[in-house]
Amino acid sequence: MPITLSQRFDRDIMSLRIIATGGTFDKHYFPLDGSLGFGASVLPEALARARLTEPCEFQSLMAIDSLDMQDHHRQQILAACKSAPESRIVIVHGTDTMCDTAAVLASATLGKTIVLTGAMVPYAIAGSDAMFNLGSAITAASLSAPGVWIVMHAQVFAWNAVRKNRAAGIFERSD
């Protein structure tokens, strides 16, 4: 069962950081060449739209397609999680290598609740799942134990029990 509200330290509830690392969620359309790429993160707008009442810190760490991530990018994300004063962190990430970053974070045993999420359709495009997944992820971060979790299409997966099924465009249990 989830930890009831009376068991949480107030400071703990309020202790949430959202880290943007790019991914489909944050892609923009560039009219001059018709490409999809990165500009300013959409997360500030998305978070304002969510009408959050608890303070949350937003950090724009990088803006990269996760297929282009190399180990140093994942180490950067790990460093940001380590140095974050917050005990609950939501990382918006490309879906293609989300599991790889999750593994790096889990191996560090940070004792924080870290949730990775993303989107299959950019926030900026009609029919996006971005806001839905963001709501899922922030809620999962408030209810889940310390550890590393992947949250997509309303499902919460332990980091080591999930894979992306690229052909179907979904995440599924791998255990």
DSSP assignments along 78-117, one per residue:
HHHHHH-S-SEEEEE--STTHHHHHHHHHHT--SSEEEEE
Nearer to a second copy, 4 or 83 (CB): 4
In this structure, are residues 20 and 41 in contact, taking their beta carbons and an 8 Å threshold?
yes
Q: Is 6 in the site for a second copy (CB under 8 A)?
A: yes
Q: Count Cβ atoms below 10 Å from residue 11 Cβ, excluding itself.
A: 9
Q: Coil, strand or helix: which one is 67?
A: helix
User: 54, 57, 68, 107: which one contacts a second copy (CB under 8 A)?
Assistant: 54
> Which segment (4-12, 74-82, 99-107) binds a second copy by CB under 8 A?
4-12
The CB-side HSE value for 111 (13 A sphere, CA atoms) comes to 2
Stretch of residues binding a second copy (CB under 8 A), selected from 44-52, 69-77, 81-89, 97-105 = 44-52
Q: Which of 138, 148, 150, 164 binds a second copy (CB under 8 A)?
A: 138
Residue whose token pair is 């990269």:
64
44, 79, 143, 174: residue in contact with a second copy (rule CB under 8 A)? 143
The binder of a second copy chosen from 39, 44, 52, 109 (CB under 8 A): 52
Cβ-based nearer residue to a second copy, 54 or 75: 54
Tokens 């924080």 correspond to 112
Work out whether 79 is an interface residue with a second copy (CB under 8 A).
no
User: Which residue is it, tokens 């140093």?
Assistant: 72
What does the chain come to in residues?
A: 175
Residues that bind a second copy (CB under 8 A): 1-6, 24, 27, 29, 31-32, 34, 36, 46, 49-54, 120-122, 124-129, 131-140, 142-145, 151, 153-158, 161, 166-173, 175
